[in-house]
């Protein structure tokens, strides 16, 4: 399965202090992006489309989960409509708005996304990148 994963990351994990509520939240919100629960272990659940890329878990050290200042987690949206669906589902599931769906001039013309805070206060994002426009503006990716 790892050969089919186009990401450069194996996975990311976030800690939660409300495990069952966080699992329900992410199941609803990530479904808008075509993601589902891939696997579950005691105190940890992995979400993805086909690969366990995003884990929600109680901290392994037994201490309360805390937030990382300046960190956030961005999810790939297949189109602008999915960005809107993600934002709407997140707010309906108890998230706090951190940025309505739309373009962000500081991210460039190909970007369209939104930001929310999950139940534990983690900042999460859904982003659609118009890759045809990325290639038009910046050319094909190249190796150094």
The pLDDT of residue 143 = 61
| Residue 4 confidence (pLDDT) | 63
> Does residue 82 register a pLDDT over 60?
yes
The edge-to-edge listing of strands for the beta sheet with 111-117 is 73-76, 123-129, 111-117, 96-102
Residue 61 has, within 13 A of its CA and on its CB side, a CA count of 5
| Residue 42: band (very low, low, confident or very high) from pLDDT cuts 50, 70, 90 | very high
DSSP 8-state secondary structure symbol assigned to residue 20:
H
Q: What is the CATH number of domain 2-57+73-138?
A: 3.10.180.10
Residue 46 scores a pLDDT above 90 = yes
Taking the C-alpha atoms of residue 114 and residue 50, their distance in angstroms, rounded to an integer, is: 23
pTM confidence score: 0.90
- What mean pLDDT is predicted for residues 7-16? 89
Q: Span 103-112, mean pLDDT? A: 94
Helix (H, G, I), strand (E, B) or coil at 107: helix
Tell the residue number behind the tokens 């194996």, with chain if given: 10
Domain ranges of the chain: 2-57+73-138
Q: Average pLDDT, stretch 77-103?
A: 98
DSSP state of 41: E
């Amino acid at each position: 399965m790892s050969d089919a994963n186009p990401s450069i990351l194996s996975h990311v994990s976030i800690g939660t202090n409300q495990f069952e509520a966080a699992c329900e939240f992410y199941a609803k919100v990530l479904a808008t992006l075509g993601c589902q629960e891939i696997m579950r272990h005691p105190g940890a659940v992995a979400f993805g489309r086909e690969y366990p890329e995003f884990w929600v878990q109680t901290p392994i050290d037994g201490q309360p989960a805390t937030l990382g200042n300046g960190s956030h987690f961005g999810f790939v949206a297949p189109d602008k409509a999915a960005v809107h669906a993600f934002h709407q589902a997140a707010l309906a599931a108890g998230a706090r708005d951190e940025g309505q769906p739309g373009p962000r001039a500081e991210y460039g013309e190909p970007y369209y996304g939104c930001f929310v805070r999950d139940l534990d206060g983690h900042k999460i994002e859904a982003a659609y990148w118009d890759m045809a426009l990325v290639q038009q503006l910046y050319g094909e990716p190249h190796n150094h």
